[in-house]
Amino acid sequence: MAGLIDMIINNPAIAGSIAKQVGIDTSDAGSIIGKLAPILMGSAKKNLQSEQDSGGLLDQINNGQFSEMFDKPDEAMQRGDLTSMGNDILGQLTGSKENSRNVARHVEKETGMSADIIKKMLPMLAPLVIGALTKKSAPQRDAYQREPQAQAGGLEGMLTGMLDQDNDGSVIDDVMGMAMKHIFS
């Protein structure tokens, strides 16, 4: 998952586009994105591992438009695509508006930035998280679509495996798990 998170955090076009939309410095946007991206990725993992998805998140991941938005966030922002689609995705990732507010309050405490700014950023970032997951998983999804019976655990299992860091020595999963338990409780 670190590679997925890095795709978002280390993409200056994403921080620049979001910063411009909410009226903050790019470095502040980058700091907030650095806190939000792991939470949203963890939420995607939790969603894919549960019965709650019923295909919604999978449909989003299979939708090529999010990959395109990830590649060209400024264009997506100008068209207004990110925020409108982002609210739907955010609902799938966090489960409720109250959980989204909890995420914003949690990140506010960690960054010192206003929860109102963070709440504006969340629906802009959510489609870009799905776009990163779409791009990163494309080769595996293509292989799955060619031979679905050969893939143990189905498409959800393959995507969850991409998001799983438990076997690579990284502490991101542990930190993310603690944050998620605190935020969504």
d(CA 41, CA 37): 6
Stretch 60-67: mean pLDDT, rounded?
79
| Intra-chain end-to-end CA distance of the chain, in Å | 23
Q: Kindly report the pTM of this predicted structure.
A: 0.78
Query: Any idea where the domains of the chain sit in the sequence?
Result: 2-183
d(CA 138, CA 103): 29
Does the structure show a pLDDT above 80 at 168? Answer: no
Name the H helices within the chain. Answer: 2-9, 12-22, 26-49, 56-62, 64-71, 73-79, 81-94, 97-111, 115-146, 154-163, 172-183
Two tokens at 146? 């060619």
What would the pLDDT profile of 76-119 be if each residue is shown by its tens digit?
A: 888 876 777 888 888 888 888 899 999 999 999 999 999 999 99
What would the pLDDT profile of 108-165 be if each residue is shown by its tens digit?
A: 999 999 999 999 999 999 999 988 888 887 766 666 566 655 555 555 555 666 565 4
Two tokens at 180? 């998620």
> Could you give phi then psi for residue 115, rounded to 5 degrees?
-60, -30
Residue 39: CA atoms inside 13 Å, Cβ hemisphere, count? 29
Two tokens at 24? 């903050």
